[in-house]
Amino acid sequence: MSDAEGFWNERYAERERIWSGHPNKALVDTVSPLAPGRALDLGCGEGADSIWLAEQGWTVTGVDVAETAVGRARAESEHRDLPITWVAADLTEWAPSEDYDLVSACFLHSPVEFPRTEVLRRLAGSIVSGGHLLVVGHAEPPPWSRYAEAEADSDGHDGHDGHEGHEGHRHEHVFLGPEQELETLDLGEDWEPLTVELRERPATGPDGEQAILRDSVVLLRRR
């Protein structure tokens, strides 16, 4: 079992549900105008984004390293009668067998060592001409996160507590603003940036603290 698999399965096992069950607003806002096709949701967690995409008519594959989370996602999609392909796999090793019109990575952060940019670049290669890459991430850690001090990781959705333990797994996590995200991805002339934005959203911490979180939202179109 990889460190990532161990960490994230343990993280999800802490509670019956970790995330809010609502799709990320940045995904909803940026993807709503796009014509549905095949979508790949990277680090899909408990599946809220994948499920929302499927409800909009996308043919969705959701991939996450945590079998626990994928099991919850699968149960919810079956309950809603949505035919989503769920894959429990480590993205550092997993390779798709098809192309996509959309690859979405929302809060694909991890306190465990993870070559995020490398994974995003490689999987962007599976996007067809005219297709889109959406990368939504924390531009800075939530103030209540233990990782705020260590500059590491935390929350994904509004309503989540953003609380991470497992200090033994800490590694230095770099939080990127939207321009930095774009620059780091460095996908080249083939990609047209459609959205490169810093977005703010209100959120509630584990002890009821209110804060404004800042997210990087980058949407690119493959020419």
Ligand X SMILES: C[S@@+](CC[C@H](N)C(=O)[O-])C[C@H]1O[C@@H](n2cnc3c(N)ncnc32)[C@H](O)[C@@H]1O
Residues that bind ligand X (CB under 6 A): 4, 8, 19, 24, 43-45, 49, 64-66, 69, 90-92, 106-110, 114, 156-157
**Nearest distance from residue 159's CB to ligand X, in Å?**
10
β-pairing, 210-222 vs 191-204, is: antiparallel
Q: Are 105 and 30 in contact (CB under 8 A)?
A: no
Of 44 and 53, the one with the shorter C-beta distance to ligand X is 44
**Nearest distance from residue 89's CB to ligand X, in Å?**
7
Of 64 and 161, the one with the shorter C-beta distance to ligand X is 64
Of 19 and 191, the one with the shorter C-beta distance to ligand X is 19
Of 13 and 190, the one with the shorter C-beta distance to ligand X is 13
How many other C-beta atoms lie within 10 A of the C-beta of residue 60? 29
**Nearest distance from residue 51's CB to ligand X, in Å?**
12
Q: Are 207 and 139 in contact (CB under 8 A)?
A: no
Q: By CB neighbour count within 10 A (0-12 exposed, 13-18 middle, 19+ buried), where does 208 fall?
A: exposed
**Nearest distance from residue 143's CB to ligand X, in Å?**
17
